């Protein structure tokens, strides 16, 4: 679904029942009718009927862009209106009509097109954090002058000294294992690579411990941000390039620790369905993609024997839980670890508000959505907040730091128990393997 005009019959299926009000995060925090699936469908219907134009109404655009594309409404919708996909199609029409704003074009075309280009702003941010500039910016009020940029500065965790790709380049040997169970390609996403290298190291360690031969191809961004902002042509180009890179690995399966990358790769079949040269390969790839916990549970994994004495709860990333139906697998892994006490999180599938770059473009709304997640986490009393998506790790980690700051300043109820941290389930499995010797 790449254009609203192709989906007119879907838009008119909304029967205005309002069931979506109960689950839509943007409606829950704003109470605005046009910030819920019903309202968004009403606006899109006016566009389909020719009574509104997408380009002509800034308010309409804003309601389309405040949608998290979380898909929560689609689960409760009696006629099954795919509002998230319709909104994405409307955004694609908008981008085709007027192009992307300068900043978005720079970010999506200039920075997010390759790991090498992304390395430049990451290096500058590392310099900013480590040179004392951050201290100056935070203590002199400079951040207040930067408006939204200043507000979102706190989202970033400490940037590690090197990316996972750089660490792997220094590691000898590449793929290992004399008689591998299977050869798998580890699709390394931008966020894990640059912000959470230990997650990627745990994935490789766990896969190798379970007999897989792991290759780490030079893949590009999966293209999710390009799709979310309606730049379908750029998303298709990235998909074609990733197809070529992954085909070159000779791997039987493609594995990733990122819910969003997994979901996006699985949609390559739909994305390239009209491309006669790539449609078949894209459809084949879609069937080969596994999120790492999905793979381990599907094919079996070695019993973790080492104790990890902790309490943990689990947040369902939208792309994994609703998008791929993978909910039980990460919980199964967590429950299998000796010493680890699992506590269910209330509203575990409530979006964290990260939604790619939503926490930058709609910072205040994103924080209000995040606050409900953090309150639910606090209620579990668990110290570890696990999730299978690096973008969610980023947002939830921000929620914890934000809460710590507020607690130190004596503002409101602490959002978490002391020593709380975010973690990928595979990191705990890897820790258990290592503790078990």
Closer residue to ligand SF4, CB minimum distance, 205 or 323: 323
The DSSP secondary-structure symbol of 252 reads: S
| E strand or H helix that includes residue 310 | strand 310-315
The per-type count for the chain, helices as H runs and strands as E runs, is: 26, 8
Contacts of 231 (CB under 8 A, 6+ apart): 92, 95, 100, 108
Ordered DSSP codes for 316-328: --HHHHHHH---H
300: Cα within 13 Å, side-chain hemisphere: 4
Contact 35, 63 (CB under 8 A): yes
For ligand SF4, the closer of residues 29 and 282 by Cβ is: 29
For the beta carbon of residue 331, count every other beta carbon within 10 angstroms.
Answer: 20
Site map 54..83 versus ligand SF4, x via CB under 6 A:
-------------xxxxxxx--xxxx-x-x
Lookup: tokens for 48? 């389909």
CA trace torsion 355, 359, 361, 362 (10° rounding): 100
Residue 20 engages ligand SF4 in binding (rule: CB under 6 A)? yes
Q: Which stretch binds ligand SF4 (CB under 6 A): 33-41, 236-244, 319-327, 367-375?
A: 33-41
Query: CB of 79: closest distance to ligand SF4 in angstroms?
Result: 5
Q: In the complex, what is the shortest distance from the CB of residue 80 to ligand SF4, in angstroms, rounded to a whole number?
A: 8
Rule CB under 6 A: say whether 18 interacts with ligand SF4.
yes
Closer Cβ to ligand SF4, 18 or 158, answer by number: 18
Provide the residue count of the chain.
437
Least CB distance from residue 21 to ligand SF4, whole Å? 7
Interface pick for ligand SF4 out of 4, 7, 11, 24 (rule CB under 6 A): 24
Provide the 8-state DSSP code for 304.
P
Measured CA to CA, the distance from residue 400 to residue 402 in angstroms comes to: 5
Name which position in 11, 34, 41, 228 contacts ligand SF4 (CB under 6 A): 41
Asked if 17 is part of the footprint of ligand SF4 (rule: CB under 6 A), the reply reads: yes
Binding flag, residue 31, ligand SF4 (CB under 6 A) = no
Quick one: 16 or 51, whose CB is closer to ligand SF4?
A: 16
Relative to beta strand 289-291, strand 310-315 is: unpaired
Q: Minimum Å distance from CB 15 to ligand SF4?
A: 5
Q: How far is residue 201 from each of residues 70, 148, 228, 414, 430, measured CA to CA in Å? A: 28, 33, 29, 32, 9
Which of 20/254 has CB closer to ligand SF4?
Answer: 20
Q: Tell which residue, 113, 134, 304, has the closest CA to residue 225.
A: 113
DSSP state of 22: G
CB of 268 to ligand SF4, least distance (A): 21
Minimum gap (Å) between residue 68 Cβ and ligand SF4: 4
> Which one among 37, 185, 199, 348 touches ligand SF4, defined by CB under 6 A?
37
Work out how close the CB of 190 gets to ligand SF4 at its nearest, in angstroms, rounded to a whole number.
23
Instruction: Tell the smallest beta-carbon distance from residue 6 to ligand SF4 (Å).
Output: 19
Q: Interface residues with ligand SF4 (CB under 6 A)?
A: 14-20, 23-26, 36-38, 40-41, 67-73, 76-79, 81, 83-84
């Amino acid at each position: 679904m790449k254009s609203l005009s192709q989906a007119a019959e879907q838009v008119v299926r909304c029967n205005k029942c309002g069931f979506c009000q109960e689950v839509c995060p943007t409606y829950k925090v704003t109470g605005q009718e046009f910030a819920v699936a019903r309202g968004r469908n009403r606006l899109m219907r006016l566009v389909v009927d020719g009574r509104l134009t997408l380009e002509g109404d800034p308010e309409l655009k804003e309601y389309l862009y405040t949608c998290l594309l979380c898909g929560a409404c689609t689960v409760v919708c009696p006629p099954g209106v795919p509002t998230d996909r319709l909104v994405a199609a409307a955004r694609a029409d908008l981008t085709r009509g007027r192009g992307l704003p300068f900043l978005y074009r720079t970010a999506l075309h200039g920075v997010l097109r390759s790991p090498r280009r992304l390395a430049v702003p990451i290096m500058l941010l590392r310099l900013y954090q480590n040179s004392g500039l951050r201290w100056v910016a935070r203590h002199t009020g400079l951040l207040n002058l930067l408006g939204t940029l200043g507000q979102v500065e706190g989202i970033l965790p400490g940037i590690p000294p090197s990316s996972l790709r750089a660490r792997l380049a220094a590691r000898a040997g590449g793929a290992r294992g004399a008689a591998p169970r299977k050869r798998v390609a580890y699709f390394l996403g931008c966020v894990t690579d640059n912000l959470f290298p230990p997650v990627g190291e745990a994935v490789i360690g766990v896969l190798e411990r379970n007999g897989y031969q792991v290759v780490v191809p030079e893949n590009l961004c999966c293209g999710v941000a390009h799709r979310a902002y309606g730049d379908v042509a750029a998303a298709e180009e990235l998909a074609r390039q990733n197809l070529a890179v992954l085909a070159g690995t000779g791997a039987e399966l493609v594995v990733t620790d990122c819910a969003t990358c997994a979901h996006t790769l699985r949609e390559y079949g739909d994305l390239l369905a009209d491309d006669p040269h790539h449609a078949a390969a894209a459809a084949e790839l879609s069937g080969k993609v596994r999120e790492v916990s999905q793979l381990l549970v599907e094919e079996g994994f070695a019993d973790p024997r080492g104790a990890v004495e902790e309490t943990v709860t689990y947040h369902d990333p939208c792309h994994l839980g609703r998008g791929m139906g993978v909910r039980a697998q990460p919980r199964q892994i967590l429950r299998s670890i000796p010493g680890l006490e699992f506590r269910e999180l209330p509203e575990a599938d409530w979006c964290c508000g990260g939604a790619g770059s939503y926490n930058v473009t709609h910072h205040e709304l994103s924080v209000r959505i995040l606050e409900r997640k953090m309150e639910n986490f606090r209620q579990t009393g668990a110290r570890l907040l696990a999730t299978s998506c690096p973008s969610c790790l980023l947002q939830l980690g921000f929620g914890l730091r934000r809460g710590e700051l507020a607690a130190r300043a004596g503002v409101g109820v602490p959002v978490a128990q002391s020593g709380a941290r975010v973690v990928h389930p595979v990191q705990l499995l890897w820790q258990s393997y290592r503790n078990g010797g």
